[in-house]
Amino acid sequence: MNWNDQVVLVTGGTGSFGKKFIEVLMREHNPRKLIVFSRDELKQHEMQAAGYNQANLRYFLGDVRDRERLVRAMHGVDIVVHAAALKQVPACEYNPMEAIKTNIIGTSNVVEAAMDAGVKKMMALSTDKAVNPVNLYGATKLAAEKLTVQSNAYAGGLATRFSCVRYGNVVGSRGSVVPVFLKQRDFGTITITDDRMTRFWLSLEQGVGFVISCIEQMEGGEVFVPKLPSMKVIDLARAIAPQATINVIGIRPGEKLHEVLISEDEARHTVELEKLFVVQPAEAIWFGYSWQEKGKLLENGFRYSSDNNPEWLDLEGIREYVAPFEQAYRDGTLEG
């Protein structure tokens, strides 16, 4: 796939993922045009002031809740990366309809606009919280996944293909626990909700690289899941603040002890490759079902969760992930 010929639009383009995606894509692939679609004029202005102002970069104000605006923005677009979402679990719990409007209806609008505009590929970002969801955020992302994957059936003879990527916690992204722990360290006490808690772990750069790779490979209908290391949240606290006191304050509503990236039910139609899993569509009524020729089907009862993962980060491995955010914190430039 030649990115130089592609016009790319990123919803949520001023968020943590969106900014890193734009940085990497411009640096390594230089698309013909890249459109930043987001609703925050201040963040767009700040991005331009920070040097995101190349000649092939465009800024488009709009909200994924506004289907007509999306149709206008997607005119002539080849690839859509759908990263816009409300993702703070407590905020989604307290404002459920707002989460539904952005994460579910907004995804539906992106899908329909992409079909109407003749976009070639749409890749939606999902989360481990969409698997067996216990909070509204996870439920909305599960619905968004289903909307995206099943929309391949509606595409019919049209060119548009829809897929998802699903991965775990991104270290240092907005809402990440890393900036919280760094700030708490100054006071000598770190708070965690449960000392048994585990999470999947990846960097923004890894997430962006994975999305780009999956866009290049997608046929339509897949959910791509990277193979990721797990870490214990208590080890993260110890890696960041080894001298601090750790207070266990109790698990919060809507929070899991361990996250799951592939459930037992999905595993029946999931293919394992060297660096990723591909969840094939449950019903092979269109395409996206040829991956079993490229990898191996999973064994019965397989479950990919953060507590049964064969790959774990030790304290030194965690410190390597956290090091850039330590420096940003010292410089006063850390977002969180």
- Residue 336 clears pLDDT 80, i.e. is over it: no
pLDDT tens for each residue of 168-189: 888 867 767 888 899 999 999 9
In a domain, 246, yes or no: no
Residue 145 has pLDDT above 60, yes or no: yes
Query: First and final CA of the chain: distance in angstroms?
Result: 35
Q: Is the pLDDT of residue 287 over 70?
A: no
DSSP string, 130-172: GSS--SHHHHHHHHHHHHHHHHHHHHTTSS-EEEEEEE-EETT
Catalytically annotated residues: 129
Count of the separate structural domains present in the chain = 1
What 8-state DSSP symbol labels residue 302?
Answer: -
Whole domain around residue 73: which residue ranges? 3-168+201-227+260-304
Tell me whether residue 326 is in a domain: no
Asked if the model's pLDDT at residue 286 lies above 70, the reply is no
Overall average pLDDT of the 126-155 stretch: 93
Q: Using CA atoms, how far apart are residues 307 and 257, in angstroms rounded to an integer?
A: 9
What pLDDT score was predicted for residue 156? 64
pLDDT, residue 290, reads 78
Q: Note whether residue 233 is domain-resident.
A: no
pLDDT digits (tens, 9 = 90+) for 225-264: 999 999 999 999 999 999 999 999 998 888 899 999 999 9
Look at residue 51 in the predicted model and tell me its pLDDT: 93
Whether residue 312 lies inside any domain: the answer is no
Q: What is the DSSP string of 159-214?
A: S-EEEEEEE-EETTSTT-HHHHHHHHHTTTEEEES-TT-EEEEE-HHHHHHHHHHH
Q: Which of 298, 258, 16 is nearest to 131 (CA)?
A: 258
The pair of three-digit structure tokens given for residue 332, joined into one six-digit string: 């006063």
Residue 249 inside a domain? The answer is no
Q: Look at residue 297 and tell me if it is in a domain.
A: yes
Question: Residue range 87-92: average pLDDT?
Answer: 90
Q: Residue 27: pLDDT band by 50, 70, 90 thresholds?
A: very high
Beta bridge partners of 231: 199
Report pLDDT for 331. 76
CATH of the domain at 36: 3.40.50.720
pLDDT band at 210 (very low <50, low <70, confident <90, very high): very high
Q: What is the pLDDT of residue 159?
A: 81
Query: At residue 289, does pLDDT exceed 70?
Result: no
